[in-house]
Amino acid sequence: MKRQDITEAKKKELIEKALEVLPNSYAPYSNYNVAAAALFDSGNIYTGVNVESASLGATNCAERNAIQTAVTNGDRRLVAIAVVGGMHGDPTGAYCVPCGICRQVMRDFADKDEMILISAKSAEDYREYTLEEILPYSFGPESLD
């Protein structure tokens, strides 16, 4: 599946699925709730939320939770991901974007020039980037060849 194959309706579906699970986020320490919905080339969509830990280092991000669930279910090629979030679960503030660790994990499962990152406040208000745009000069699986 190529970037141009992902319709506006599919983008909105991803955003809506992320918004749907946002209340499930567990962020009692930062109060910054995040949710993600990841589309894989199989057509399957996996959601995830951030889950914080008192030790903070054991915290897992929404994007990685969604990707890890996909991998658990046998999917390996990420084509798009929608990310929503904000303080106290309010996604209408600044656009929520993945942290550096999540960007690197995406790089292992996506074509950097084709994968779409959708950073959304709502299904109507979002920004779109390729992985290459948010992670330039990246280190990927081919770097190990």
Is 63 one of the annotated active-site residues of the chain? yes
> What is the SS3 assignment for 100?
helix
**Under 8 Å between Cβ of 82 and 120:** yes
Q: What is the largest CA-CA distance in the chain?
A: 43
By the 10 Å C-beta count (0-12 exposed, 13-18 middle, 19+ buried), 23 is classed as exposed
Chain-centroid distance of CA 2 in Å reads 17
Considering the candidates 8, 13, 63, 132, report the single residue annotated as catalytic. Answer: 63
Catalytic residues: 63
